[in-house]
Amino acid sequence: MVTSGALVQAADVPAGCSAPGTAVRNLLVTGPAGSRLARRLVDVSSGSCFDGTAGPGGELWFVIAGAGQFVIAGQPGLPVSADLALRIPPGARYRLRADGPADLHIDAVTLPAAGAASARSETAQAVARDLRDCPVETTGDRRFRVLFGPGRGCAVATQFVGEIPPGRAPEHSHPYDELVLILSGAGVLHTGGGAYPIRAGSCAHLPPGLRHCLENTGPATLRVLGVFHPADSPAAKNDPD
């Protein structure tokens, strides 16, 4: 447990089975009713399907690995593969089918119901965005690509992939809730006077105002998947005193 936040490891979270060939791990739920962010990891075995209904504020998905098809009734199917993001409209009923040779691994963040009106006004269809089509931005020596955010298909939240080189930046805080999932690499989360090991599958909730930093202690890039609510830029920080 992180002071005033949370840190979990996906492997330590029991998986529930919603249908044959599927496993869902509910990693984190934050905030009171109406303003909750929830993050889950969904594994779909090759040849299997995952059916569901998007939350009242819509959802932001990211394909970690695998390939398949995403279908909402009345819309053409969307092919999905690694590093593709999806913005799913509120209340949409969907089917995700894993049709590649390997299992499909999805990160799914359910957005707060408080943003439902804005989400519905943006689009009634699912929108896909390939990470490779998103421009690289920088803050210090760190690189990031915004997949969804204001002016990019989602007014209420920001979804991005960040790359952190070896080393440690100064502690800082944000004016928003942040959910961080480690995609690859290893390091340490510094916050609340503590140091917490992180690796692929580590998921942290960093509430507004909580000072923190991610240190990359390995030789390779530390790759992270972040979601902010309310929406803002990954470069927006409250610097330390």
Give the domains, in start order, of the chain with CATH numbers. Answer: 11-130 (2.60.120.10), 133-229 (2.60.120.10)
Q: What share of the chain has pLDDT > 70, as a percent?
A: 90
Q: Given this model, what pLDDT does residue 124 score?
A: 75
Residue-wise pLDDT for 139-170, tens only, equals 888 999 999 999 999 999 999 999 999 999 88
pLDDT confidence band for 19 (50 / 70 / 90): confident
DSSP the chain: --TTSEEEEGGGSPPB-SSTTEEEEEEEEESSTTS-EEEEEEEE-TT-EEEEE--TT-EEEEEEE-EEEEEETTS--EEEETTEEEEE-TT-EEEEEE-SSS-EEEEEEEPPGGGHHHHHHH-SS-EEEEGGGSPPEEETTEEEEEEESTTTT-SS-EEEEEEE-SEEPPPBB-SSEEEEEEEE-EEEEEETTEEEEEETTEEEEE-TT--EEEEE-SSSPEEEEEEEES---TT--B---
Q: What is the mean pLDDT of the chain?
A: 90
Region 68-80 average pLDDT = 92
Nearest residue to 66 via CA among 91, 41, 89? 41
pLDDT at 117: 57
pLDDT at 239 over 70: no
pLDDT at 67: 97
Q: Using the predicted structure, report yes or no on whether residue 184 has a pLDDT greater than 90.
A: yes
Flag whether pLDDT at 90 surpasses 60: yes
Model confidence pLDDT, tens digit, residues 200-233: 999 999 999 999 999 999 999 999 999 999 887 7
Summarised one tens digit per residue, pLDDT across range 94-145 is 999 999 999 999 999 999 986 555 555 566 789 999 999 999 999 888 999 9
**pLDDT digit string (tens) for 23-58?**
999 999 987 766 789 999 999 999 999 999 999 899
Q: What is the predicted pLDDT for the residue at 85?
A: 98
Residue 232, pLDDT score:
77
Residue 4, pLDDT above cutoff 60: no
Q: For residue 1, name the pLDDT band (cuts at 50, 70, 90).
A: very low
